[in-house]
Structure 1
């Protein structure tokens, strides 16, 4: 007997929503299940004091893929936001990514050649193959930038000293010998004028969605409803942790309304000293060039992840990468389940890459 739905989509983030939308366009019937009380995953926004607030941290859309840029612009109008965060090291302000403005503030240099000379001189303190993240970072950008702008932030983010983190976590660090504060190199960049909810709502328009649903708690019953499953949750929980538990880092957000029109003058400030407990402060109104009388800020605190908490960053060290490969082998053996997204694939995904992956999964599924 034919089942009621063609696809059961577990998770309403970008991967699940794009897949559900594209499958529906191809005449398939989908049911979307969402564990949270709202759709959209981590790009969900809410309005506070007239300000569009990114509830789960800053989400700035950027891509070099023209197809993906057209795809999202067909769903929403984007503004011209350019990500130009700053770093605060014990009250000292530096531009990011590392560029001539950063180097001029650090060393008083003016020309690219002067900056290169400074960095080259400092890189030489590490000889041989870097044995940990600290040595890798110094090899890439020198001791001054590492000490002020990398070390404290990284140790807070990962919850351990840089000397105990593997070198490959930092494969490269962007260093620009230009006076350019644009964080991303991608030619297309912006934020939806009306927030990301508009994109998700359009993707899921006309599709049955159930929120506050724990798929894994009643998997057999939900699987019986559909011919195939698209699963975007944590891959180890899908297999009941039979090979062991993958590690993640989590986040805690502390959001506050302030009775001032402008708190920090920029959307994102990274706090790079070890003593400040949070890694960054987001002032949401600057994502949309807001002129509201009040402002909304969010402090972002890294946290040790435990089951039941939101999993934000996979800990892609050798141990976890090997464990993930065991789960991937199990996933590949599931004939009627498509695993996709950052949790199911245990990798950090930018938004454009999630959409690329979802569209690729659709093309593979429908043999296009």
Structure 2
């Protein structure tokens, strides 16, 4: 391999690729990072509109229970104290999320946990689904009919493009019910948004590393493969293997960004639209992630759609058919000695940001650099 110039070619500059590149560079390894997009950062990329850091690919709220991961990200940027407290709009009324005593009061007028528990337990018991056969039955067995119909039934149809009764039960393993007046969506100890946006984090990770944007690995694969001793691949694992066992399926998202010449549009960073009167699943008002006081505001309407050639894959459809296909690709990946697969697309699993970082740090640690 006379053309070898790098220790690692890293395909994709999202969080996984950027963390791995940073760790490898720190260990004295020479890295080249390429990305088919015209910007770095993958889905955490932000664009500045009206002086507001707009999350280009949907809301990204950092949260973790790991002090190690929290300290790790804070070396690249200062994080603010933003707490995610979304609202849900259903049949013209607003409710607090996650499901907590505020939600239960808004639904039934109950004021104590025991009152709320008695209603929910009665509804769950009346459903009588000891072995739920689909997502609808699973949800009814966890939270009862009222919560299911108000917040889950139609939202799920928009999110997945099919009725909850046609989706596998395992998609919802649990639906937390919180019997306190606490609107903090996450239970994790550490939470916030990087002050100035996620671009600062990624740029600092990659500041001493060669980065080539608008470079598609698959358009000149043999050339890129010749450049490095090892490849870190963060794209779709089925695409890496030319879809030889079939395509893994995803749900995708479409974003419509709007600038409004008013100070506040909805008064909250995230509002979910749970019924079918709106085609979108939620509206994000970005300025609230960083407590902005700009005179105008930017919102994003988020639509769940089927993946196509012109859309980005977001949510893996981890049903039986796709998991069988994935297993065949994983068998091929296990035989690779010079390719490291990592991230949500390469591993075909939904990752939160802290999980991506932990996975990248683990893969970097496995390299046992001296």
Q: Same fold (TM over 0.5)?
A: yes
Corresponding position of 1:269: 271
CA contact (8 A) 1:250 1:309 kept: yes
Aligned partner (choices 318, 323, 340) of residue 321 of structure 1: 323
Secondary structure of 1:292's match?
Answer: coil
Hey, what's the Cα distance between the residues in 2 that align with 1:187 and 1:127?
A: 34
What is the number of equivalent residue pairs in this alignment? 368
Secondary structure of 1:344's match?
Answer: helix
* Larger CA deviation: 249-258 vs 317-326: 317-326
Hey, what's the Cα distance between the residues in 2 that align with 1:154 and 1:329?
A: 32
Corresponding position of 1:27: 28
Secondary structure of 1:361's match?
Answer: helix
Secondary structure of 1:181's match?
Answer: coil
**Cα displacement string for residues 42-71 of structure 1 (whole angstroms, at most 9, x for unaligned residues):** 000011001110000000000001111000
Hey, what's the Cα distance between the residues in 1 that align with 2:215 and 2:311?
A: 16
Hey, what's the Cα distance between the residues in 2 that align with 1:308 and 1:327?
A: 24
Output aligned runs, 1:110-189, within 5 Å: 110-124=111-125, 125-189=127-191
Output aligned runs, 1:11-26, within 5 Å: 11-26=12-27
* TM-score, structure 2 normalization: 0.98
Hey, what's the Cα distance between the residues in 2 that align with 1:321 and 1:127?
A: 26
**Cα displacement string for residues 125-144 of structure 1 (whole angstroms, at most 9, x for unaligned residues):** 23331010000001000000
Q: What displacement does 1:321 show?
A: 1.3
CA contact (8 A) 2:27 2:369 kept: no
Q: What displacement does 1:97 show?
A: 0.3
Hey, what's the Cα distance between the residues in 2 that align with 1:130 and 1:156?
A: 21
**Cα displacement string for residues 92-120 of structure 1 (whole angstroms, at most 9, x for unaligned residues):** 11100000000011011111011010001
Corresponding position of 2:306: 304
Q: What displacement does 1:153 show?
A: 0.8
CA contact (8 A) 1:126 1:135 kept: no
* TM-score, structure 1 normalization: 0.99
Corresponding position of 1:4: 5
Corresponding position of 2:70: 69
| 2:209 equivalent to 1:207 | yes
**Cα displacement string for residues 248-297 of structure 1 (whole angstroms, at most 9, x for unaligned residues):** 00110000000110110100000000231000000000001100000000
Hey, what's the Cα distance between the residues in 2 that align with 1:366 and 1:191?
A: 32
Moved over 4 A (4+): none
Hey, what's the Cα distance between the residues in 2 that align with 1:318 and 1:117?
A: 36
Secondary structure of 1:343's match?
Answer: helix
Hey, what's the Cα distance between the residues in 1 that align with 2:219 and 2:333?
A: 19
Hey, what's the Cα distance between the residues in 1 that align with 2:23 and 2:142?
A: 42
Secondary structure of 2:313's match?
Answer: coil
* Larger CA deviation: 325-334 vs 138-147: 325-334
Specify every segment of 5 or more residues in structure 2 that has no aligned partner in the other structure, as ranges.
Answer: none
Structure 1 residues 317 and 300, CA gap change in structure 2 (3 angstroms): same
CA contact (8 A) 2:3 2:227 kept: no
Aligned partner (choices 190, 193, 200) of residue 191 of structure 1: 193
Hey, what's the Cα distance between the residues in 1 that align with 2:367 and 2:317?
A: 30
**Cα displacement string for residues 210-262 of structure 1 (whole angstroms, at most 9, x for unaligned residues):** 11111012111100000000000001000000001100001100000001101
